[in-house]
Structure 1
C-alpha cells in the first residue's frame, strides 16, 4: 500500500472531526469511535492505534470514556476530540483545502484538482479524501471506495442454475476463447438447447472479476432501451459520460438522442467490459444496427468482448472486417451419457431414459421437463406439453385465444371472450404471458406455436374470426384482414384490405400488405373470384412503391384485364398506373397510347378524381413530349373537374401539374405557389407520397433560382430533406432514388456557399 500524505496522528484528528458535533450517548455510540473502528477507517494497523491514541491523550487533543457500543455486549473505550483537538483538526482541514492533488477516478482518468472542489466533482467529502491521499499527492477513488476487486455485473434475466450436465467441451472452448484474441462469440442452437444456461454458468464461474452487462433482447425492446441500460451500467463502473449525455438529450429541446454522439462516447469508454446480447432472433432493425456499431468497436487495442446468443444471428450484424475476431459455438443435444445421467438423477429408469432420448432427443430443457414429469404417457410430442399440462381450463382457453395472434395482444380481447383478470395475471405470474408496452401481452413464441398447431381447425377458425371482428372495431385493419383470411372469410378479408391498405403502405408496411394480398389470391375460389382484380391492383401498388416496376406492371395488367367491363372505376385507375409506369420508364408514346385508348371508359366513370388524374398524367406526358400547349389544356381540364367535384386529392394533382408546367416555362414564382397549393391539398387528404413529391418540386424550383438569391440553395436543401424524410418513412424506393440523386448537387452547392462566406 502506498504511503499516505498525512501521519497516522493527523488522520485520527481529521477522522474524529466527523464526530465533533455529535454527543456521545451510552446507547448510540458507533463502533467507529473505538480503536478498532478508528484503525479500520484510516487504514492503520490495530497495533499502531493505541500508541497514537496515548500521545493524543497526553496532548489533550483527545478525550476517552467508557460507553455502550453498537454490536458489543460490554462497555468499550471510545475517543472524541477535545475543544483543543477540534481546533487543531479544523486548522489541518483548512490547510488541505487549497492543496492540489491528482484524483484517479473509477474509469482510470486523472484530474488535477484542489481538495476543496472534490465534493462537488466526485461526491466525496474532504475528510474522507484526505485520509487516502498518498505521499505523492494522489487519490485513487477505487482505493477510497474499497472496490478494487469488485466487478459490476448487470444481468437482466439472472437465474439460479438448478442442474447442469455435460457441456465440458463447450466450457473448455469458452475458456480458451476468453484467453484468445478472438473477442466476438456467437452461440446458436434451437430453443431449449441450453444456450442461456451455458453462458450463465460460464459467467458465474469464470468471469466473476469482469465488468459485465447481459441484455435480454425481446421484440418490444428498441435501441433506446439498450443504450439507456448501457449508460447506467457504465456509470456504475465510473464512466458516466453516456448516462449524462442521455439525460441531457431527453431533457433538452429536441427530446431525442443523436446516435452518432452516443457511439462516439461508447467508442472512448468501452475498453475491457463484457457485453452479452441474448435472444438476437427477436432484435428489431434499430437494435441490430446498434449492436453492429458496437461490434465495430472491437479491435486489437482493447479487451472489449461481446457474446451474441440466439436461435439464429441476423445476417450482416457482424461487419466483414470484424470476422477475424469471431468464434462460433453451435449447441445441439447433450452427449448421450450426459443425457442419461440427467434423466437417471431425475428418477427415471434406464429404460425410461433411453426411450425419452430416442423419442425426444437430448435437448437440456426437454430432458429437464421429462425428468420432472415422471410419466411418459403424459408427454405427447415435446416439452411444451409440460408447460400447459397443469393449467386450469380458463388458462388453457386464454392461451389458445392468444396463440392465434402473430404479435402482442390486448387484454380487452381476452376479457370479451370470457377470460377474467385473475386468469390473465395467473399466466403472467407463471411467465407464460409477458407484459409489454401499451399494456399488451406477449406469449412465448415456442409455446404459442405448439398450442396453435395442436388446436382443432374449427376452433382455430372461430378464434380468428373473433379476433378479426375485434381488431376491425379497434381500427387495426391490416391484422383484421389477416385474421378474416385465416378464418376462411376471404371475401371479407379482401374488402377490409382493399379499403385500408393504402394507409398501411404509406406507413411503410409494404411487405405486410403484399404478404396478405398474395395469400388471399392463393385462397380464392369461384365464390369470391369476382373481385380478384383488386388484389392484383394492391400487389401492383406494393411493387410500384418498392421500385420494382416490372412486377408492378405485370400485376397491374392482370388487374386491368380482369376488371374491364366489370368495374370501370377500378379499371380506369389501373390504366393510369400502367401509363404512369411506362412514363417512368421513358416510354412516353406507349404511356399516352394506353391512356388515350382508355379515355372513352375513363370519362364516364363516376369518380371524377380518376378523370382528373388521367388528365394530369396526359398533361405530364404531353409536356415530356414537347407539347406545352396540350399539357396546359390537360392540366386546366383537371383543375376544372377537381373544382366541380370538390375533391382535395384531385385538386392536388391539378395544381401539381400546373406547377410542373410553370416551372418548365420558367414562371418560377407561380410554380412555387401552385406546388404549395398541391402540397396543402395532399396533406389535408393524407396522401403523404404526393405531398412529398410537391415538397421535392418546390425544392427543384428553388434550385433553379439558386443564382437569384443565395438563400435559395438552402431552401432547396430544406425542401429536399423534408421530401426525403417522407419517402424513407413510407419506403418509396423510386422517389428515394430520385431524391438522393438530386440532393448531393444541392448539398455540395450549399456547402460551397458556406465556405465562401467563411
Structure 2
C-alpha cells in the first residue's frame, strides 16, 4: 500500500507506468510475484485497493494494475505516520553513525529516496550510507557545485565509506625491515600485498605509516583506504570502489551501475562487475576523458587498501577474488590487511605466479624493543618485558604510559580480542601449551588436551599457535596471560 501511495499520481490514468503492475510491485517491494497477487486479493476484499486493466508504458498488451481507494488512502496515511517514526541507522557524510527517524533520512542523506526505499534498505542492509550511488545523485538545495572525480577528492559523501588517505598513525618504533619489504613490493609493481597477524600487532599502523611516507614522495598517488566493518557487505565494497574509480550517474560508459542490485537485498553480479570494470580500467581513452578536468590527469594506477578484510572475507570471497583477478591485468594494486591469511587465492599465487606477496607481521624484535625502552625509564630488564609482551606494540605502549608491563588494559585486550572468542577446547589447548617451558610435539600436546585430529587451522592462521621445527609453541604475550590463570588455579 505504501508503494501504491507513492505512485498515487498515476491513479485513474489511461496510460500508467510499470510500477502499478504485478512485476513492478514485486520488484519494488522485494516480493515473489505470486505473493503480490495473494496480497492484492486480500486488500481487494477489504476495499483498500481497486483493480484495473490498463495500458502500460513500454508494453504492447494491457495489463492488470492496482491503485488505492479513498479508504486505502486514509489507511495508508496512518501507516506512514507510524512508519516514519521508526529509527534508522545511517552513516552521514562525515562517516559518523547516526540513529534518526525514517522521515529524516532522505534529508540527511541529501538523496531523493522514498520512505519505502529507506525501510527496505534498512531491513536488508542495516545501515544506509551517504553517497550510495543507488540513491541517485546527491541533492543539496543550497549548493549545485559539480563534484570533482574521486581521485583527488572523494565523490560527495564517498568518504563515509572510504578515505583518500591513510589514517594518521602514532610514532612507529622499529619495523625498518617490514617497511623495506613494502617498498620492494611497491617498486616491483606486483598486484597484491597481504599483511596478516594477530589483533593489535600493528598491521594497519605499519601500512598507514608506510603509505603516508609514499604520499610525501608522490602526492598524486591515488589511494582508496577502505576500513572493512563487521556489518559490511559485498555490495557496500563494490559500490564504494565504483565511487573511487569515478563511476557515477553521469559517467558510466560500461554500465557498471547495472551490475549492482538497485533493490535492497539483491546480490552483486560479480562476474559482470568484473568484466565491465576490467574493460573500464583498461580503456585509456575513457579514463583520460573522465579525469580530463583534473590538473594532474588520470591516475597511473589505483592503490586499494582493504583494512581488516577478515571481516568480509567469507561473505565477499567472490568479489575479492574478482578484484584480485582484475589487478593482474589493469592499473590496480591491492593491499589486504587481515588477522588471518586470506583464502581468496591459493599458494601458487604466492610462490610460483608471484601475484600475491605475503608478510606475516610479528612482534617487535628484542633490538627494536631495546631501542624503544631505552627512551623511557623502566625498572624491568629487556628479557622480562619480552616474556610478558612478546614484543606486542600495544603492550609496550601501555608499558610506556603506565610503567606496567602487564597493565590491566593489555590483559583485557588479550581477553576480549583473542581468548574469550576461542572455543573452550582451543583455549584449553593453549593453556596446556603455556604450562610448558619449550615447544612441544603435536602428538604430546594433543594427548594432554584430549584433542583428536590435526592442529586447529584457525589458531595457526591467526598466528596464535606457531608450528616450529621443535614442535608447537604460542605467542609469548598469550603464554604470559595464560600462565596467570594457571597460577591462580
Q: TM-score range by the shorter chain?
A: 0.3 to 0.5
If asked which structure has higher relative contact order (CA below 8 Å, sep 6+), I would say: 2
More strand by share: 2
Structure number with larger C-alpha Rg? 1
More helix by share: 1
